Amino acid sequence: MVPITGDETPRGSVEALLEGFERYLTAHRNVRLSTRACYARHADAFLTGLAGPDVRVELSRLDAVTVRDHVSVLIAPYAPQTKKLMATSFRGLLRFAWLEGHTSTDLTGAVGPVSAPRGIGPRPRPLSGEEMCLLLDAQDLTTLTGIRDYAVLVVLSRLGLRASEVAGLLLDDLDWEAGTLTARIKGEAVHRLPLPHDVGAAIVGYLSRRPDSYHREIFLKLQGRDEPMTGWAVSALVARATARAGLGTVHAHRLRHTTARAVLEAGGGMGEVGELLGHRSEEVTRMYASLDLVALRGLARPWPVSAGACHD
């Protein structure tokens, strides 16, 4: 097998391994863009958890016990469906590592089976309005990086897009006259969304400062490379931004849940949540918007009491 790890970065770095993994998924597994971005996001978490202070990973030192223990810690906080997806991503990464010679044995078997009954398990906690204010206020709008990060966070939290979908947005997807934005969402579908004023203003603020580029993607890397951001780069951006705001490590998908919460708190229904998030079925929306009971109590209307009801 011809090595497919990128030459631009050190072979053992997290970034180089992720680039190689994404190339492997494309060239040898024929994985579509949205799925590839999802696998890469979970692979990023796997590798980052193993990385040393120089952001390098010695995969050659991995053994089955280390993999099993590491996976158990990573997937513990998540719902069963997410655990199952993470395990699949980790197996793919470990198979890539073996084929590329990063490990001497195939360690995919060390990632045990994960059962995922539908509708069971905790949902990611949406950020509150106060937390969102802290997150946005923590971005340094005197720098290009801060302006870009702010725009990405606004798009994620207001439109409910996935990290890979934000990374895939093109300049041609913006229709300023109609006030809409078109995104390619999960399943390769096309989803047209209204472009709220604050989202448009954040994008304009970034585009007015964005370096000239032949790339049509809206959001670009800013570390000396003229390249579009990838889905895992967007997710890493969110993790850095939330840590900077004192909110701990928050992954991009929690901002999607934050969008669902905002729609419900504004008086919208499940149908509106599903339409905004691009869900194909009401069942998915019900699972997705099954927020914690404490949060939902505030949205419930009082039970009507008839005039003739008995009172103690």
Round to the nearest angstrom and report the end-to-end CA distance of the chain.
Answer: 79
Query: Is 257 among the residues known to form the active site?
Result: no
Q: According to DSSP H, which parts of 106-229 are helical?
A: 129-137, 144-159, 163-167, 197-207
Could you tell me which of 120, 36, 37 has the C-alpha nearest to residue 83? 120
Q: Which of 41, 83, 253, 261 is catalytic?
A: 253
Residue 254 backbone class (left: φ over 0; alpha: ψ -120 to 50; beta: rest): alpha
Instruction: Report d(CA 106, CA 4) in Å as an integer.
Output: 18
| Residue 301 a catalytic site member | no
Dihedral angle computed from the Cα positions of residues 252, 254, 260 and 266, in that order, rounded to the nearest 10 degrees: -100
**Contact call for residues 155 and 201 (beta carbons, < 8 A):** no
Q: Which of 36, 41, 256, 261 is catalytic?
A: 256
Catalytic site includes residue 123: no
Q: Has 279 been annotated as catalytic?
A: yes
Cα-based distances in Å from 7 to 12, 47, 57: 11, 19, 16
For this structure, is 186 an active site residue?
yes
| Residue tagged active-site, from 162, 191, 210, 254 | 162
Amino acid at 37: A
Residue 253 annotated to the active site:
yes
Q: Which of 102, 158, 186, 254 is catalytic?
A: 186
Q: Active-site residue numbers?
A: 162, 186, 253, 256, 279, 288
